[in-house]
């Protein structure tokens, strides 16, 4: 049985014409996740729009509008170009889910172009990504945790937010194929949560800062996409998520030395490596991210073939065991 959030409707050509209000030449799926589906819609006049369907009531549209406004007010648009969207209120799909349209941005995800880029270009793009994320983290928000449409997080302190996030991550683990690791992970996190006190003001975090959400064109970052999980956070929590890009499971065609150069370039752009003097915090945050990723095994993995599904679960188990101290 598939996760209920995968029951989003599929955009047809007829429905696309209702949304863009123009005759449509082609509808191409750009991908789907547990919470949204994205399409490229090309009209007969050659105009291109991106259409996104999201579960109704997610608050995602308002959250992204807040982020775009906050980035603009902070004077950070040059480093963090946020693509704004318009809500669609007409048509049958708008009664079933949140529907937005936005202009197409000419570019490709950084994660998709890495392999064919020159080594120096890869490092330059990671440096620009670091600069962009530093700009995001320089924006103050009110409260920690997933932002509501007004830009407020539900927790007054980071320790409260991190404890709730760790508890939610354990729940994802409990219902995943890795459930036998639950007790050990719970013991490990209990000790880590006690050391996660952080009383500094909350800063804006992207929530899914990874190369596939960064569009590049002609050597420049032209858009930051997918602000679904925008939140107030300890910036180091987000940086621990970015760290997975520099580990052996990402881009297997790149060797350790090259991934090390990517990491150095990223932190050069970011303005320094905050984990250099605090590696234990990196381990704590990385474990929570690894546990949260087990959601994939119960949400998306059922749609994969048996071999790929088994390999995915095996990779997750290896990563969690490594962070628990077994590998």
Q: DSSP secondary-structure letter at 10?
A: P
User: Is it the case that residue 306 has pLDDT exceeding 50?
Assistant: yes
What is the rounded distance in angstroms from the CA atom of residue 107 to the CA atom of residue 218? 8
CATH code linked to domain 4-103: 3.30.200
pLDDT band (50, 70, 90) for residue 301: low
| 3 state DSSP class of 268 | helix
Q: Is the pLDDT of residue 154 over 90?
A: yes
pLDDT of residue 16: 93
- Say how many C-beta atoms besides its own lie within 10 A of residue 205's C-beta: 29
165 phi, psi to nearest 5 deg: -65, -40
Query: What is the per-residue pLDDT across 36-62, written as a single tens digit (0 to 9) for each?
Result: 888 999 998 888 899 988 888 878 888
| Per-residue pLDDT at 199 | 64
pLDDT at 267: 97
Please state which CATH class domain 114-324 belongs to. alpha beta
Residue 61 has what pLDDT?
Answer: 83
Higher pLDDT, 194 or 53: 53
Contacts 24+ apart (CB under 8 A), 279-285: 280/195, 281/195, 281/196, 281/236, 281/240, 282/236, 282/240, 282/243, 283/192, 283/323, 284/189, 284/192, 284/195, 284/196, 285/236, 285/237, 285/240, 285/241
- Return residue ranges of the chain for CATH 3.30.200: 4-103
On the question of pLDDT at 2 being above 60, the answer is no
**What number is the average pLDDT over the span 212-236?**
91
Q: What pLDDT, on a 0 to 100 scale, did the predictor assign at position 55?
A: 83
**Helix crossing, 235-242 with 279-293: angle to 10°?**
70
Question: Within the chain, which residue ranges are assigned CATH 3.90.1200.10?
Answer: 114-324
pLDDT value at residue 1 = 38
Concatenate the DSSP letters of all residues of 90-142 into one string: SSSHHHHEEEEEEEPPS-EEHHHHTTTS-HHHHHHHHHHHHHHHHHHHTSB-B
Question: Given CA atoms 55, 10, 222, 285 in this order, what sign does their dihedral have?
Answer: positive
Least confident of 108-117, 189-198, 215-224, 313-322: 189-198
Query: What is the average pLDDT value for the chain, to the nearest integer?
Result: 87
């Amino acid at each position: 049985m598939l996760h209920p959030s995968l029951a989003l409707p599929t955009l047809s050509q007829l429905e696309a014409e209702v949304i863009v209000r123009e005759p449509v030449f082609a509808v191409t799926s750009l991908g789907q996740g547990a919470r949204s589906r994205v399409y490229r819609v090309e009209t007969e006049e050659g105009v291109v729009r991106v259409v996104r369907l999201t579960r109704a009531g997610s608050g995602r549209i308002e959250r992204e509008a807040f982020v775009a406004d906050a980035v603009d007010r902070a004077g950070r648009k040059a480093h963090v170009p946020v693509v704004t969207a318009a809500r669609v209120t007409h048509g049958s799909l708008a009664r079933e889910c949140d529907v937005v349209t936005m202009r197409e941005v000419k570019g490709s995800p950084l994660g998709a172009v890495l392999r064919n880029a020159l080594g120096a270009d890869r490092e330059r793009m990671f440096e620009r990504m670091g600069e962009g994320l530093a700009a995001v983290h320089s924006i103050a928000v009110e409260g920690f945790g997933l932002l509501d449409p007004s830009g407020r997080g539900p927790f007054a302190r980071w320790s409260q937010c991190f404890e709730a996030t760790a508890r939610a991550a354990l729940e994802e683990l409990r219902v995943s194929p890795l459930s036998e690791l639950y007790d050990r992970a719970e013991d490990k996190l209990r000790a880590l949560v006690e050391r996660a006190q952080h009383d500094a003001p909350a800063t804006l975090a992207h929530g899914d800062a990874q190369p596939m959400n960064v569009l590049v064109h002609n050597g420049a970052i032209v858009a930051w996409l997918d602000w679904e999980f925008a939140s107030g956070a300890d910036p180091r929590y987000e940086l621990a998520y970015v760290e997975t890009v520099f580990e052996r499971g990402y881009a297997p065609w790149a060797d350790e030395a090259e991934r090390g150069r990517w990491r150095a370039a990223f932190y050069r752009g970011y303005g320094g490596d905050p984990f250099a003097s605090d590696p234990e915090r990196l381990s704590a945050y990385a474990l929570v991210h690894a546990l949260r990723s087990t959601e994939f095994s119960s949400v998306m993995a059922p749609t994969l073939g048996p071999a790929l599904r088994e390999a995915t679960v095996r990779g997750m188990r290896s990563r969690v065991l490594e962070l628990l101290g077994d590998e």
